[in-house]
Amino acid sequence: DGGITQSPKYLFRKEGQNVTLSCEQNLNHDAMYWYRQDPGQGLRLIYYSQIVNDFQKGDIAEGYSVSREKKESFPLTVTSAQKNPTAFYLCASSITGAGWNEQFFGPGTRLTVL
């Protein structure tokens, strides 16, 4: 299960606060992704990055922001503009951004807004 890590495992946030979720990979993968997992809704893409210093919005990017300053790291910030941020967040990486490449997932961060 090594290679892609997320921290923290659990995160609690007060309403109105921004919070940053960490995602690191040592697989030398070019592409990285952030998904949100809610019960009964599968995995929904928030942001993705095919290469360092480049990223694009996914299907549910509103209220989120990312950066990709290093190949190994793709942090996600959940801003106060995200109306319903309580969810399980999964980071993934793949060797390239081509859709047929296996995506390797991190262990996830469960965010709870109090």
Partner 1 sequence: GENVEQHPSTLSVQEGDSAVIKCTYSDSASNYFPWYKQELGKRPQLIIDIRSNVGEKKDQRIAVTLNKTAKHFSLHITETQPEDSAVYFCAASKSDYKLSFGAGTTVTVRA
Task: Using CB under 8 A, list all residues that contact partner 1.
Answer: 1, 31, 40-45, 48, 50, 56, 58-59, 90, 97-100, 102-103, 105-108
Q: Which is nearer to partner 1, 15 or 102 (CB)?
A: 102
Tally of helices (H runs) and strands (E runs) in the chain: 0, 11
How many angstroms separate the CA atoms of 112 and 18, rounded? 12
Q: Which is nearer to partner 1, 3 or 17 (CB)?
A: 3
Q: Which is nearer to partner 1, 45 or 80 (CB)?
A: 45
The least distance separating partner 1 from the CB of residue 78, rounded to whole angstroms, comes to 20
Token digits of residue 63: 């209220």
The least distance separating partner 1 from the CB of residue 15, rounded to whole angstroms, comes to 27
How many angstroms separate the CA atoms of 13 and 99, rounded? 34
Instruction: Give ∠ CA 22-27-30 in degrees, rounded to 5.
Output: 80
The least distance separating partner 1 from the CB of residue 55, rounded to whole angstroms, comes to 11
Q: Which is nearer to partner 1, 80 or 110 (CB)?
A: 110
The least distance separating partner 1 from the CB of residue 89, rounded to whole angstroms, comes to 12
b or e along 19-35 (b: 16 or more beta carbons within 10 Å of the residue's beta carbon)? Answer: bebebbbeeebbbbbbb
